[in-house]
Amino acid sequence: MNKPRRYARPLADLAAGLLHDSFAKQGFASRELVTSWPEIIGAEIALCAEPLKIQWPRGREGEAQESGTLVLRVEGPAAIEIQHLSGVILERVNRYFGWQAVGKIAIRQAPVARKPKKARPRVAPEAAARVAETLQGVEDDALRQALGRLGAAIKRT
């Protein structure tokens, strides 16, 4: 008697089902616009703007679907720049969707949730000096010190 094998399901598959309803309430047909925002829109724009929701116009049955309004949360000082880049943003989002999904952009000024940057680990000066002492063939002092720091960082990892 062979029992069916059960494998662990990836966490991403489980989370996708749970998050689908939350994203649907905000007008997102798929979560990729939010999760892949920097890749879709570009890293520079993604630093100061993030999607909040897509507002779809109420349509009647039988009518063609109209374009929605993408609501962006934008850092206060960057709002003017994002407004000027709205054509670029619309083009990139619609290219991602593959159809004219978004026709307008609405801006809400608020702080953007930034992901914390990882702090670069500091190299102990003594370790860098020990590695630099082994590089007597390098004549330039600044280069030797830089290579010492690099070598100490590599040894540490």
Q: What's the CATH code of the domain at 19?
A: 3.30.300
Q: Are strands 49-55 and 68-74 parallel, antiparallel or unpaired?
A: antiparallel
Q: Are 64 and 45 in contact (CB under 8 A)?
A: no
Q: Tell whether 66 and 92 lie within a shared domain.
A: yes
Q: Give the tens place of pLDDT for each residue, 114-155.
A: 665 556 678 888 888 899 889 988 889 999 999 998 888 888
Q: Tell whether 95 and 129 lie within a shared domain.
A: no
36 falls within a domain: yes
Show Cβ contacts of residue 147 under 8 Å, excluding neighbours closer than 6 positions.
Answer: 131, 132, 135, 138
Q: Give the tens place of pLDDT for each residue, 24-81.
A: 565 565 667 888 888 999 988 988 999 998 888 876 665 667 888 999 999 888 999 9
- Looking at the 3D structure of the chain, how many domains does it have? 2
Domain that holds residue 140: 125-156
115 falls within a domain: no
